[in-house]
Structure 1
């Protein structure tokens, strides 16, 4: 069963969910200890090419996939045969398998690899080392590892941490610092940052600059500010939006900020499998408002093929403000 992300996870002062948070603390200590033990005991396999890890410190929702797409784009534009490697969360194939958008579905390989496979070679493998070796054998000169910060199986050349830099009132990217399941953290902040080489602070296109208090948490680590920008305008006319991502409320905000005439919005759990009854509900809401349906690119690839013509996909891309400096950072790794 897939669960909706609790919004109280991201409350800086934990006013809501306080009892639940307290009850879950012992499980959080066990989770953090298991992660630390796994990282400490696994040296990491060197597969002979640079490995750039795109990870985060929280459970979903930071924007890793758009950043992975941007790193792949920049590497390939510079002449490096870069391939992506993912666990393929939500897919049934264990791999290693190269994603084929023409024959694979999200239920085969996961939604994120399927999204990226139109732009760069993508590999799915539960066993990251086996997947990396398959990619290298197929000609990969560099690997972009999606969601690999807490997975120590591969030796990383560059570890990038993606942080959702949007702060609103009591909403804070790390909540009160609690580790899952009492909070959003995969591991304590200090432990995760200690293994990072740089931070990608991801902001909405219309947000002001980075929060100085948030920046101060990263100490001496290099920080690259990136903007999450729509690849195009939202559809015209009245729309009903929906999203099954870790923070669906941010999609609603972004659509409104982009000028979408949004009549209603339906949140679903992260990586939701859209059932017949879910689709019927969305069709009813759209009919009620005489509106179209709009969703994220990641949700769109999970829809049944017959439904894709009825729903508009609204893609977003990550663009680093200091693109020249960021290109230099990843070029130094890929050529080293």
Structure 2
């Protein structure tokens, strides 16, 4: 589902009307996160956010996995596997799993670190440790109490911020901002924007940059489609590369790429005489036979000043 438009606008009549339900949602979240979590014997780093939808969690997990791997730490990712049907715990294998089974994000993450899908996060973490994990990267799960988090990083889309500041369904928040940030060790704002945050917890700033692959994008006629939290960010990134963006289609986050949808997208691209292009996360949902026909633009997170992150990692022994 796409986020309702009023979530991103100043509070109006509809958000006011839904605010009592938002208060109930917030109380339910507060009760849930107060439960005691389990420890699994290795540091658990949670990458989460306070809003529904994408904020940049997946690129953040990838960046952490690469950072830990560079210092010889065997980090495994544990994910709920949004959109997948497998309960787990199961280790993701791109050779035998597809997005319908494990979700698109775990398929992408599995290219960077051993990745486990588990509806029960504690069971997934225990399976990862049994398989040799020296650290667990919890993809999402900031509002899930199953595990004790040794380090919690709240990712914020600097452009979208916290929307209208209301809790679901009155707005995009999973919990009130003050309550969420009180449990966080770090915040990470990604992209351009003047989102207001308190001085504590310490703040990191980053941006998503296209990965240099040798591809010459300048002047390429492109039809772009994306099913991520904010597809327009992807389209803007393509523009910065100098493509000739002849058409775009914003899909819902995690939207299944059915044959009918892919046929329609292909017809649009053909009419525009444009090359279809999508994100890495969307690409893993493409049927194998079509992956050679759609270009993928990979992006990576660049953190501008990582001193607070390094301090936090040293505190938990990493």
Range of TM-score over shorter length: over 0.9
**Match of residue 36, structure 2, among 34, 43, 56:** 43
**Secondary structure of the corresponding residue to residue 318 of structure 1:** strand
Q: Give, in angstroms, the shift of residue 334 of structure 1.
A: 3.5
- What is the match of residue 20 of structure 1? 14
Any gaps of 5 or more consecutive residues in structure 1? 167-171
Q: Deviations over 1:136-157 (max 9, x none)?
A: 0111011010101100110010
**Match of residue 10, structure 1, among 8, 11, 14:** 8
Q: Deviations over 1:284-325 (max 9, x none)?
A: 111111111001100110111122111111111111112355
Worse-matched range after superposition: 112-121 or 275-284: 275-284
> Residues 234 and 25 of structure 1: is their aligned pair in 2 closer, same or farther, counting only changes over 3 Å?
farther
Mapping for residues 110-125 of structure 1, pairs under 5 Å: 110-125=103-118
Any gaps of 5 or more consecutive residues in structure 2? none
- Residue 284 in structure 1 maps to residue 267 in structure 2: yes
Q: Is the 8 A contact 1:90 1:109 kept in 2?
A: yes
**Match of residue 149, structure 1, among 138, 142, 146:** 142
- What is the match of residue 240 of structure 2? 257
Q: Is the 8 A contact 1:129 1:153 kept in 2?
A: yes
**Match of residue 205, structure 2, among 208, 213, 225:** 225
- What is the match of residue 202 of structure 1? 190
- Residue 307 in structure 1 maps to residue 287 in structure 2: no
> Residues 77 and 145 of structure 1: is their aligned pair in 2 closer, same or farther, counting only changes over 3 Å?
same
Q: Deviations over 1:242-269 (max 9, x none)?
A: 0111212222222212222110000111
Q: Is the 8 A contact 2:48 2:57 kept in 1?
A: yes
**Secondary structure of the corresponding residue to residue 18 of structure 2:** helix
Q: Give, in angstroms, the shift of residue 9 of structure 1.
A: 1.4
In 1, the alpha carbon distance for the partners of 2:65 and 2:39 equals: 20
RMSD value, Cα: 1.6
- Residue 108 in structure 1 maps to residue 101 in structure 2: yes
Aligned length: 315
**Match of residue 71, structure 2, among 73, 78, 86:** 78
Q: Is the 8 A contact 1:74 1:327 kept in 2?
A: no
Q: Deviations over 1:139-185 (max 9, x none)?
A: 1011010101100110010111001112xxxxx41112101112111
- What is the match of residue 165 of structure 1? 158
Worse-matched range after superposition: 172-181 or 192-201: 172-181
**Secondary structure of the corresponding residue to residue 46 of structure 1:** coil
**Match of residue 31, structure 1, among 19, 22, 25:** 25
Mapping for residues 259-274 of structure 1, pairs under 5 Å: 259-274=242-257
